[in-house]
Amino acid sequence: MSKGLYSKYYDPSKLARLGNLQMLARTVVEGYISGLHHSPFKGFSAEFAGYREYMPGDDLKHFDWKVFARSDRRYVREYEEETNMTCTILLDASASMGYRSDGCSKLEYGCALAAALTFLMTQQRDQVGLVIFDESLRERIPPRSSPAHMKYVIDRLEKVVPRGKTGIASSLHLIAESLKRRGLVIVLSDLVEDQDAVMNAFEHFRHERHELIVMNLFDPAEIAFPFSGLIEFRDLETREKMQLRAEVLGDEYRSKFAAFVDRYRRDTTRAKVDYQMLSTATPFEVMLAEYLRKREKGG
Amino acid sequence: MIHLLWLSLAIPIIVHLVHRRKAKPMPFSTLLFLRMLDQRVARRQRLREFLLLAARLAVLAALVGALERPILKSLNSRGGGVPATAVILLDNSGSMQAVSQGSSAFERAKGAALQVVDGLKSEDTAALVLSDPGAEKAPVSTSDLAGLRTRVAALECGYGGGELGSPLQRAVELLEKSPNPAKELYILTDLQRSAISPAIKEIAARIPREVPVYLVDAGAETPCNLAVTRLDAGLAVHAVGAPFGLSCRVENTGSRSATGGTLSLIVDDEKVAEQPVAAVPGGAQTLLFRYAFKSAGVHTGRVELSPDGCPSDDRCYFTIPVLEKLPVLLVDGAPSVVRHLDGAFFLRLALQRNGQEGASSPITVDIARPEEFDSKRLDEYACVILADVPATGEGWADRLADYVRRGGGLLLFCGERVNPFAYNAALGPTAVESHRLLPAALGEVRTPQAGAEPCFFRIQEADRDHPALREIFSGMDLGTTQVTSLLACQPPSDAEAAILLKSDGGPLMLERRFGAGRVILCATSCTPLWSNMPLKTWFLPLMHQIVYYLSGSGSEPGAVTVGMPRTIKVAGEKPVEVKLLPPPARPDDKPQPILLRSAVAGAENKAQFNGTQRPGIYRVEFAAGERQVREAFAVNAPPGESDLARWQPAEAKTNLGRSNLIYTDKPDHLATVVQLQRQGLPLWDYLLLAALALVVLEAFLANVFVKH
C-alpha cells in the first residue's frame, strides 16, 4: 500500500478495527455499505447491477420474490448506485484545535475523522466536500464523489495545520450561505466560542434545510483538567497567559465545562442537530461506528 | 549572633516567591473556561496561601524572638545599676488587724514590705513610714537594709487611726530628699475608706510622675465583725453603792449577720455580766449594763465581745472613780423654820437619802447660810449648790468663777427671793467676762396668765441623752410636772448653753461649761412654792445624778483613744515623779513601768504621757505629800477603725490622683510585680507558647485550609 492518503488516515489496522463492527462488514463489501447508510435523499439513477444471495439482515424490500417463487432460491437485487447524497465536512483548523495533551491533537483527530467519513461516503457514491476554516474560510473543496476527489480531499487534510483564531459562527454563516444544494453538513470543531452565536449558525443550516451533524472535539485534558500545581496557561490562539493553581480550580473548571457541553447538547437537541462530544482519546473508528449506528437509527 | 537568625524569616518568603515563580507554562486550547472560573476562588486561595506564609513567618519570628529573650519594659522600669530609694508606707492602723483567709491584713502587708526590702540592692536605700508611728522617731532613709528588714519583721500592728494623709506627706518628703536617681513608693494598706480621703490627692500630686507608686491592697472582705463603737459610763464620778449604768453601742461592720455573740462586762478583772449580741450588717445594738460598786477607789473594767474577724475593736476599756463620800456645799438662801418652806429642805432630803432602802447616801451635805459662804473652802466640796439665794455677796463671783474654772460644779436654783438683776450683774451677761458663769440671763418671774388653763407650766422637752438625765427620764412621762413660776431665762446666742429641760413657759434647766467645770441653772425653785418637782419621785435620783455629774466636771475623761496624749494631774506645787504602768502587750507579759516627771505650769502640776499606743488600762502612781496616789485611765482603739468599708481600687486610684498607679491585690506576689516593673516582663515563655500555637495553626492551614 502506497504512502499518502492511506498511510496516515486510512490505516488498514484502523479499518480492521472498524471491521469488527457491523458497519465495517458493510464497508468492506463495496455497495453493501449503503445498507448501513440510509441516505435521506434518493438518487436520480438506480440501475440494476445483479443478484446476490440473501443474507439474514438484508432489507426485504430488495428481496426478489419472483426468483424465489421460480427457483426456491433467495436472492436480493443489487443496484449500481443507491443514493446520491451531498455531504460537506466543515473542519475547524484554528490554533485551539492544535492542542494536544497526549496522543493526537484535536485537529489531527478531526482530520482522521474527516478522511474516514470521506472514504466511507465516497464508497457509497456520495458526494463529499470539505471546508477548512478558522476565523475565515481557509480552503473550500466542493463536493464530488469520485475516488480522485477523495484522494484530493484526504491529501488536503494531510496538509492542514492549526493556526489563526476561531471564528466558528461567522465561518458557519458564510458556509451556510454558500451551500447551494441541501445535504448533510458535518462540523468538526471544538466549538469554543460564544455558544449563542454558534447555535445561531447551526440554526442557519437548519433553516437552509441541511442536515447537521456536530462533532465537538475535545482533548481529554480539556475534559478532565488533570493539572495540578501553579500553572501558567497560555492560550494557543490569543497567546494570552493566565497563572492559576490548577488543583484549586479543577472542580470549578470541570463544572463549567460540563455546563458548556450540556448546553450544546440541550440546544442542539432542540434544534434537531445531531451533536456528539468526542474525546480524542477515543479511537476515532469507534466514533465513526457510533456515528454510523446513530445514522442508521435516525435513518 | 542570635540577631542573624532573623534572616531565617526570609526562608519562607523565598520559598514562597520561588514557588510562585516556578509556574509551569502550559499551552492550552483556550482560556475561555478559565476565564469563566470564579476568580474569588483564586483570590481566596491566594489569601489562604498568604495566611500560611504569615503563619510560617510568625512561627519563625516567635522562635527567634524567644531566643532573643526579650523583656517588655514599662515606662517605670529603671535600668540596672541605678541606686534607688524605696519608701514603704505601711498601714499599721487598727483595721489592719482584720483577719481574713487565715491571716490579718497587717501580716500580709508586712510580708509584702519584707519582699520589697529583700528585692533591694546593696546600693539602694529604703525608708519605712508607718501610718501609726506611735512613739517612733521620724522616719529616715537608710542603707542598712538588713536592719530595716529586722525592724519590719518585728513590727506589730497598731491600734490607731489609719488616715494616710500625714504618713504620705512624710513619705513624699523622704522621696524629695533622696539623692538617688530612682525612687519608688509602696503604699501597703487595706484600702479602708477612712484611710484614703480625697484630700490625699493634693499630697500625692507632689510625687514626681516618674516615681512608680505601688498600691498594695492587703485587705480583704471581713465577713463578720462586731465592734464596740461607743462606751458611755455617763457620769465621771460615782459613789459606793450608787447604781452605775454603762451604755455600750455594738455595730456590725462585717458583711454577714452576727448572731450568737456575747458582750461581757468585766470589772476589776472579774466578769460580772454578759448579754447576747446580734446585729445585721451595718446594724447596731445598744446594750446597758448596771452595776453598783462596793468599794471606793478607781475601778477598771472593760466590755468584751466574743472573738470575731477584727480583734482590735472587740474590747473597750473604762475606768470609774468611785468615791466613798461626796461633799456638797448647799447654800440655803431661804431658811425657814417651816420645813416645806425652807429653801434647802427638799434638796437636803433628796441628797442625804440613797433611794435604796437601808443604804446611806454617799453625798454629805454641808448646809450653810449665805453669810457663812465666805468661811467655806470651796475646794473641799465636789459641788456647790445655791438654793434661792437672793444675790451673790461680795467676792462670791470671783470665788465661784475660780472654783468652776478649775473643774468644780455649780448648781443654781431660783426662787422668789432671787434677784435676777443682781445675778446678771455678778455672774450673768452684764458681769465681767471672767465671771459669766450663768448659762442664761435671768429675767422677771414668769407665771401662767391669770385664768389660763392649765394654771401652770408643763415640761415639754427633756434632753434624755444627757448623762445626768438619761437614767431618770428615759421613757418617763413628765406631763404631770407642774411649774407655777419660773424666772425667764434668755440663753446667749453663742450656743454655749444647753437646755436640759424646757417648759411651755420657757427654759427650765440650762447647762454651761465654764473652764473645766460646769454650771447648771434651774429657773424654778427647789421648794413646792414654784413647782411640784421636789414632790416627784424622780427628784431624788435627778439631784443625785446632777451632783455626780457636776462633781466629775473637772476630772479628766476616763478613756482616751490610742495615740492621744494623756494629762496626769498631780497634787502639790512641786514636780513629782509619776510612774506609769502600760497594759501588757500579751497576757503573760510584764510591762516595764514608764517614769514621767510632772511639771508645774501656773496653778497646775501635771505630767503628760504621749505613748498611748495600745488599748488597755494604764495605771498611774505618784506621791502626794506623804500619801501615795493610785489612779488609772483607759485607752481605747478609735471607733473609726472598726469601719471596715473599703475603697474599690479604681476609687482609691482616683483619690490618689495617679493614673499610672501600680495596683495589686496580691501582696504575697508583690516581689513579682515589682520585678516586672523594675526589669520588665520576660516574653520568651509567651513567645514559645505562641510558636507552639502557630505551629498547630500552620499545620491546620497547610493540610486543611490550603489545598495542594
A244–B34 C-beta distance less than 8 A: yes
B23–A96 C-beta distance less than 8 A: no
- Continuous segment of H or E residues that includes residue A18: helix A12-19
Query: What is the model's pLDDT at position A12?
Result: 32
Whether the predicted model's global pTM rises above the 0.90 cut: no
> In Å, how far is A161's CA from the nearest CA of chain B?
15
Work out how many domains chain B is built from and give that number: 5
Residue A235 pairs in a beta bridge with: B28
Percent of chain B past pLDDT 90, that is, above it, reads 19
Interface probe for A, chosen from B16, B29, B43, B45 (most Cβ of A below 10 Å), is B29
Please tell me whether residues A61 and A111 are part of one structural domain.
no
A99–B23 C-beta distance less than 8 A: no
Task: Count residue pairs from A and B with Cβ separation < 8 A.
Answer: 81
Query: What is the model's pLDDT at position B73?
Result: 66
Kindly report the CATH number assigned to the domain that includes residue B198.
3.40.50.410
Domain assignment of residue B300, given as a range: 226-323
Q: What's the per-residue H, E or C state across B663-704?
A: EECCHHHHHHHHHHHHHCEECHHHHHHHHHHHHHHHHHHHHH
Q: Which is nearest to A175 in space by CA: A139, A127, A126, A221?
A: A139
| Cβ pair B505, B555 in contact under 8 A | no
Work out how many domains chain A is built from and give that number: 2
Quick one: average pLDDT of B629-643?
85
Domain end call among A30, A65, A80: A80
Please tell me whether residues A253 and A205 are part of one structural domain.
yes
Sheet holding B662-664, edge to edge: B125-130, B84-90, B182-189, B213-217, B662-664
Please tell me whether residues B421 and B484 are part of one structural domain.
yes
pLDDT bucket at A47, cuts 50 / 70 / 90: low
Sheet holding A137-144, edge to edge: A137-144, A127-133, A86-92, A184-189, A211-218, A274-279
Question: Chain B residue closest to A236 (CA)?
Answer: B29
Please tell me whether residues A119 and A203 are part of one structural domain.
yes
Quick one: average pLDDT of B164-172?
87
Query: What is the model's pLDDT at position B329?
Result: 93
In a domain, B27, yes or no: no
Quick one: average pLDDT of B251-260?
83
Peptide bond between residue B454 and the one before it cis (omega within 30 degrees of 0): yes
Query: What is the model's pLDDT at position B48?
Result: 78
Which of B20, B27, B33 comes nearest A253 by C-beta?
Answer: B33
> In Å, how far is B686's CA from the nearest CA of chain A?
36
Q: Quote ipTM for the complex.
A: 0.74
Please tell me whether residues A56 and A167 are part of one structural domain.
no
Please tell me whether residues B91 and B154 are part of one structural domain.
yes
Tens-place pLDDT, residues B92-115: 888 888 888 788 899 999 999 999
- A-chain CB neighbours of B45 within 8 Å are 245, 248
Quick one: average pLDDT of B613-617?
88
Tens-place pLDDT, residues B588-602: 888 888 998 988 887
Residue B639's SS3 state is helix
Go through B310-319 and write b for each residue having 16 or more CB atoms within 10 A of its CB, e for each that does not.
Answer: bbbbbbbbbb
Please tell me whether residues A58 and A196 are part of one structural domain.
no
Tens-place pLDDT, residues B478-511: 778 889 999 999 887 765 788 889 888 899 999 9
In a domain, A214, yes or no: yes
Name the residue with higher pLDDT: B573 or A15: B573
pLDDT bucket at A214, cuts 50 / 70 / 90: very high
- B-chain CB neighbours of A99 within 8 Å are 27-29
In a domain, A274, yes or no: yes
- Continuous segment of H or E residues that includes residue B424: helix B420-426
In a domain, A142, yes or no: yes
Name the phi and psi angles at B297, rounded to 5.
120, 180
Query: What is the model's pLDDT at position B20?
Result: 63
Which of B19, B24, B41 comes nearest A252 by C-beta?
Answer: B41
Query: What is the model's pLDDT at position A24?
Result: 32
Alpha-carbon span B370 to B389, nearest angstrom: 7
Tens-place pLDDT, residues B174-210: 988 888 888 889 999 988 887 777 678 888 888 888 8
In a domain, A261, yes or no: yes
Return the minimum-mean-pLDDT range out of B97-111, B234-248, B275-289, B619-633. Answer: B234-248
Query: What is the model's pLDDT at position A6?
Result: 37
Domain end call among A64, A80, A96: A80
Which of B24, B31, B707 comes nearest A247 by C-beta?
Answer: B707
pLDDT bucket at A289, cuts 50 / 70 / 90: low
> Which residues from A are below 8 Å from B when comparing CB atoms?
96-97, 99, 106, 166, 190, 192, 219, 222, 227, 229-238, 240, 242-245, 247-249, 252-253, 256-257, 260
pLDDT bucket at A148, cuts 50 / 70 / 90: confident
Please tell me whether residues B273 and B124 are part of one structural domain.
no
Domain end call among B305, B323, B341: B323
Domain end call among B299, B323, B347: B323
Alpha-carbon span B527 to B519, nearest angstrom: 20
In a domain, B641, yes or no: no
- A-chain CB neighbours of B41 within 8 Å are 248-249, 252
Query: What is the model's pLDDT at position A43?
Result: 36
Please tell me whether residues B233 and B216 are part of one structural domain.
no
Alpha-carbon span B384 to A156, nearest angstrom: 155
Question: Chain A residue closest to B34 (CA)?
Answer: A253
Query: What is the model's pLDDT at position B659?
Result: 63
Radius of gyration of chain A (CA): 21
Alpha-carbon span B489 to B504, nearest angstrom: 13
Alpha-carbon span A105 to B64, nearest angstrom: 54
Residue A247 CB partners (closer than 8 Å, separation 6+): A227, A228, A229, B707, B708
Quick one: average pLDDT of A180-208?
90
- Continuous segment of H or E residues that includes residue B346: helix B345-352
Q: What's the per-residue H, E or C state across B481-501?
A: CEECCEEEEECCCCCCEEEEE
State the amino acid at position B618 in one-letter form: Y
Please tell me whether residues B319 and B330 are part of one structural domain.
no
In a domain, A75, yes or no: yes
Quick one: average pLDDT of B678-704?
83
Please tell me whether residues B505 and B579 are part of one structural domain.
no
- B-chain CB neighbours of A248 within 8 Å are 41-42, 45, 707
Question: Chain B residue closest to A223 (CA)?
Answer: B33
Query: What is the model's pLDDT at position A287?
Result: 65
Please tell me whether residues A57 and A113 are part of one structural domain.
no
Which of B20, B29, B707 comes nearest A222 by C-beta?
Answer: B29
Q: Grid cell 410636772 — which residue? A: B481
Query: What is the model's pLDDT at position B50?
Result: 83
- A-chain CB neighbours of B707 within 8 Å are 247-248
Residue A42: pLDDT over 50: no
Domain assignment of residue A62, given as a range: 47-80
Residue A218: pLDDT over 70: yes
Name the residue with higher pLDDT: B80 or B486: B486
Kindly report the CATH number assigned to the domain that includes residue B268.
2.60.40.10
B20–A230 C-beta distance less than 8 A: yes
| Cβ pair B94, B162 in contact under 8 A | yes
Please tell me whether residues B454 and B597 are part of one structural domain.
no
State the amino acid at position B264 in one-letter form: S
- B-chain CB neighbours of A106 within 8 Å are 29
In a domain, B618, yes or no: yes
- A-chain CB neighbours of B32 within 8 Å are 192
pLDDT bucket at A50, cuts 50 / 70 / 90: confident
Tens-place pLDDT, residues B599-613: 888 767 888 888 888
In a domain, B75, yes or no: no
pLDDT bucket at A204, cuts 50 / 70 / 90: very high
> DSSP E strands: which ranges in B360-413?
363-368, 383-387, 409-413
- B-chain CB neighbours of A233 within 8 Å are 26-28, 31, 34
Query: What is the model's pLDDT at position B494?
Result: 64
The grid cell for A19 is 471491521
Query: What is the model's pLDDT at position B396?
Result: 92
Please tell me whether residues A95 and A75 are part of one structural domain.
no
Pair type for strands B270-279 and B258-267: antiparallel
Please tell me whether residues B297 and B436 are part of one structural domain.
no
Q: Which is nearest to B87 in space by CA: B207, B198, B186?
A: B186
Please tell me whether residues A75 and A90 are part of one structural domain.
no
Alpha-carbon span B696 to B59, nearest angstrom: 10
Domain end call among B498, B531, B551: B551
Pair type for strands B616-624 and B577-581: antiparallel
Which of B28, B37, B45 comes nearest A234 by C-beta?
Answer: B28
Quick one: average pLDDT of B684-697?
88
Please tell me whether residues B317 and B354 are part of one structural domain.
no
B30–A237 C-beta distance less than 8 A: yes
Residue A103: pLDDT over 80: no
Please tell me whether residues A151 and A248 are part of one structural domain.
yes
In a domain, B589, yes or no: yes
- B-chain CB neighbours of A234 within 8 Å are 25-28
What is the DSSP track for B252-267? E-SSS-EEEEEEEEEE
Residue A64: pLDDT over 90: no
| Cβ pair B326, B382 in contact under 8 A | yes
Distances (CA, A) of B681 to A28, A193, B112, B170: 94, 66, 20, 32
In a domain, B77, yes or no: no
pLDDT bucket at A39, cuts 50 / 70 / 90: very low
Q: Grid cell 413628765 — which residue? A: B478
Pair type for strands B226-232 and B243-252: antiparallel
pLDDT bucket at B296, cuts 50 / 70 / 90: confident
Domain end call among A80, A98, A123: A80
Residue A297's SS3 state is helix
Question: Chain B residue closest to A254 (CA)?
Answer: B33
Q: Which is nearest to B435 in space by CA: B465, B485, B392?
A: B392
Please tell me whether residues B108 and B51 are part of one structural domain.
no
Please tell me whether residues B242 and B147 are part of one structural domain.
no
In a domain, B600, yes or no: yes
Quick one: average pLDDT of A101-110?
84
CA angle B621, B625, B626 (to 5 degrees): 85
In a domain, B167, yes or no: yes
Which of B25, B35, B38 comes nearest A234 by C-beta?
Answer: B25
Name the average pLDDT for chain B. Answer: 84
Return the minimum-mean-pLDDT range out of A76-85, B218-227, B468-477. Answer: A76-85
Please tell me whether residues A91 and A61 are part of one structural domain.
no
Q: Grid cell 448533510 — which residue? A: A184
| Cβ pair A258, A218 in contact under 8 A | no
Please tell me whether residues A254 and A143 are part of one structural domain.
yes
- Continuous segment of H or E residues that includes residue B508: strand B506-514
Quick one: average pLDDT of A73-100?
81
Tens-place pLDDT, residues A274-287: 898 888 877 666 66
Sheet holding B566-569, edge to edge: B566-569, B604-609, B599-601
Query: What is the model's pLDDT at position B706?
Result: 58
Quick one: average pLDDT of A209-238?
88
Kindly report the CATH number assigned to the domain that includes residue B443.
3.40.50.880
B45–A245 C-beta distance less than 8 A: yes
Alpha-carbon span B205 to B196, nearest angstrom: 14
Quick one: average pLDDT of B426-434?
88
Please tell me whether residues B624 and B515 are part of one structural domain.
no
